[in-house]
Amino acid sequence: MLDFPIAELITPEEQVAVARAVAIMASRDDQVSDSERHFVEELMGQMMLLPEERDLVRREFMSPSDLLDVATRVRHREARIFLFYQAVCAAFADNKLVEGEVDALLELAEAFEFDKGHAAQFIRWVSDSIELRERGQQLLIEM
């Protein structure tokens, strides 16, 4: 969906904070699905996190830290946009967006000083994009 040259935009420390925040987001509904775990694992692979960094991220599934405490360690605007995008995708990884996840996303947007209306529109855009992709995949199967 969005293509970010990760290594060029954010520091290694921010990459770990992004992955941790996304894992915390996946844990927000008190149950981490296989699809949510897989999403976080793919993200860690994309960012080429070290094994010890990956272990730190995985611990967030068992005992999540405070989302805003971790997320505000991400300072660069591009990194914050990337984190917000990944958090939205993580929330949708199990194909449902629950109230606690919506609240967390809007809190994250507020902490990053993103316009709340734009953040809500962005969440809807990601939802629509996922729906369109799934419809396209179904059409390919049916062809």
Please indicate whether residue 49 or residue 6 has the higher confidence score (pLDDT): 49
- Type of residue numbered 100: G
The domain defined by 6-142 folds into TerB-like (1.10.3680)
Q: How confident is the model at residue 54 (pLDDT cuts 50, 70, 90)?
A: very high
**How much is the pLDDT for 120?**
93
Spans of all domains in the chain: 6-142
**How much is the pLDDT for 52?**
97
Reply yes or no on whether the pLDDT at 31 is more than 70.
yes
- How many other CB atoms are there within 10 angstroms of residue 12's CB atom? 13
Report the C-alpha gap between 67 and 69 in whole angstroms.
6
In degrees, to the nearest 5, what angle opens at C-alpha 49 toward C-alphas 131 and 19? Answer: 45
DSSP 91-143: HHTTS---HHHHHHHHHHHHHTT--HHHHHHHHHHHHHHHHHHHHHHHHHHH-
Reply yes or no on whether the pLDDT at 44 is more than 90.
yes
**How much is the pLDDT for 101?**
87
Rounded mean pLDDT of 29-46? 88
In degrees, to the nearest 5, what angle opens at C-alpha 123 toward C-alphas 31 and 104? Answer: 45
Rounded mean pLDDT of 96-124? 91
DSSP 1-56: -----HHHHS-HHHHHHHHHHHHHHHTTTS---HHHHHHHHHHHHHTT--HHHHHH
Rounded mean pLDDT of 57-67? 94
